[in-house]
A and B are shown apart, each in its own frame.
Chain A
Amino acid sequence: MGPRQTGGISMELRLKNLSHAYGGTEVLRDITLTIPEGRIVCIVGPSGCGKSTLLRMMGGLEQPDAGEILQVGSPPEGCLNPLTYVFQDFALLPWRSVEGNIALALEDHRLGRQKRQAIVADVLARTGLSDFAGALPRQLSGGMKQRVAIARALAVNPAVMLLDEPLSALDAQTRELLMDDLIGLWTRAPFTSVYVTHNLAEAVRLGHAIVVLSRRPGAIREMVEIAAPLEARDMADPVLAAKQQHLWELMRDEARAADAELADA
């Protein structure tokens, strides 16, 4: 049962010459990047290089000092919130049940009670949470909390999903499972997505393209494309291993340089 049409048309994001500084600290420098429709773009980079800032700007939660962010194309039919976030720390309301947390994203739209309940039931089923509809966040494990947050994001049928280290608060096994879930969701109904992570294995597994940012001020150091389809990626594949190794070398250089700067200061 699908209460709405999912997938199909979504949106493209274009970033042009984006720069930003907090006070005197330059955080982002001249970022030009396109997030193509229906693709997952991963952003990796050393700690503090401005990844979260960049993502907040793409989500319209913060304004860049210079440059612009354009959305190209119109959001799909039934899309309630074109640019939708998944937060690292889940951002669930502790006083609402799982169901209530998902409904929160729908309540400001005039959907009618039945439609709303149908959407909630649908996303709960898609994320395997149907049995926990009435549970409060404190009763859930970290992995389940992030599933709820993903279900909430799916409920508004986003054109672009913005994920800020969605799995980094979770243990390795849960991370694997949720990655499989994300891949499953994407294969059934491809969405455009920007995925910020520290974890290169995640990036290689989920990204159609991987953007490596330099240390602060974050600038695009390199963009690595991975052609293999998501559902067919095998981490033992030497091509993927080589890409991950290459990413690691880039990151290591940046992290070393950042450390050296800290030591000097």
Chain B
Amino acid sequence: MPEIRPVPFRGGGFRPQVRRWVGFVVFVLLIAIAEWGTRTGWISNLTLPRPSDVLATFAELWQSGLLAKHLSPSLSRLAVGAALGVSVGVSVGVLIGLFSYFRAGLVPVVAALFPIPKIALLPLFVIWFGIDEGSKYALIAFGTFTPTVVATYGAVDNVDRTLIRMGQSFGLTWWSIVRKIVLPGAMPGILSGLRISLAIAIILLVAAEMLGAEYGIGAYILEAGSLYDLERLFAGVVILSVLGVLVSSAITMIERRLLHWRG
């Protein structure tokens, strides 16, 4: 009598699916643990501020109108700097992807620029672009530029060459091929590069504001830090995290719109 049993299932997985609430639950859980720990004294007040205190500080910040005062310059710096860096980065990346001379000339330059900690160049930017907004825009733009370039030309390299040959075989113009075949084909890679570039932009924003700004989230955090005011420090950090989450979900939304064809 042979043994009879169902074939064991071993497929599945390796395929991200939408699990909307899991991220939220993880956040709530972490915060709840911190709250419980600080209340019971298991975590000392010097190591971690109580989440509810941070929330109170945050409410105060909101009510006093200081939040808007710090947030709006930060957001405009982020927007201008990242828009500059990303748009120049995508254009240069496409040029490198399409033209051998650009590739030969610029890939080594980008490789040389990438590992430079951009913050180290801030004094230089201050001389070049002025102590005001200019140097901050430049820092953020420069910091987002290099990862965007690398992601973009990699993405262009990965566009299926037979699709480009197809475009040529139908006599499409060069510009049509770039617009209708190369760019959409490179879009998945460009967008995942954008995720990294924008996170870097937030880091650089704070760094620039710490080094010289009256208002801005970075300045706020620096001030709180120098006074050892952990509640305010954490309120600032939370704003940054929220900003990060918002940017990331914005990109997810763009991906869902632009890349729906991937299914």
Contacts and interface: CB of A to CB of B under 8 A. Distances in A.
Interface of A: 59, 61, 80-81, 83-85, 87, 89, 91, 93-96, 104-105, 107-108, 136, 138, 152, 156
Contact of A93 (B163, B168, B169): B163
Interface of B: 162-163, 165-173, 176, 180-181, 184-185, 259, 261-263
Given A91-B162, A108-B176, A138 B171 contact: no
13 contacts: A59-B169, A61-B169, A85-B170, A87-B162, A91-B162, A93-B181, A95-B184, A104-B170, A104-B180, A107-B172, A108-B170, A108-B173, A108-B176
B261 A91 contact: no
A87 B173 CA distance: 20
Contacts of A96: 261
Contact of B261 (A84, A104, A108, A138): A138
A252 to B, nearest CB: 31
A89 B166 CA distance: 11
B261 A95 contact: yes
Contacts of A84: 169-170
A108 B172 contact: yes
A156 B170 contact: yes
A93 B180 contact: yes
A85 B170 CA distance: 8
Contact of B171 (A87, A91, A94, A108): A108
A61 B165 contact: yes
A63 to B, nearest CB: 13
A87 B164 CA distance: 12
Contacts of A93: 163, 180-181, 184-185
Interface of A is mostly: loop
A84 B169 CA distance: 6
Nearest to A83: B169
Contact of A91 (B163, B176, B180): B163
A250 B160 CA distance: 36
Given A91-B163, A93-B181, A104-B180, A85 B261 contact: no
B261 A94 contact: yes
Nearest to B160: A91
Contact of B169 (A85, A95, A108, A138): A85
A256 B181 CA distance: 42
A251 B196 CA distance: 55
Contacts of B168: 61
B166 A87 contact: yes
Contacts of B259: 95
Contacts of B170: 81, 84-85, 104-105, 108, 152, 156
A81 B171 contact: yes
A53 to B, nearest CB: 13
Nearest to A94: B261
Q: List the 5 shortest-distance A-B pairs measured between CB atoms, nearest first.
A: A91-B166, A85-B169, A95-B261, A105-B170, A95-B184
Given A104-B170, A108-B176, 15 more contacts: A61-B169, A80-B171, A81-B171, A83-B169, A84-B169, A85-B169, A89-B162, A91-B163, A91-B166, A93-B180, A93-B181, A95-B259, A107-B180, A136-B263, A152-B170
Nearest to B172: A108
Contacts of A108: 170-173, 176
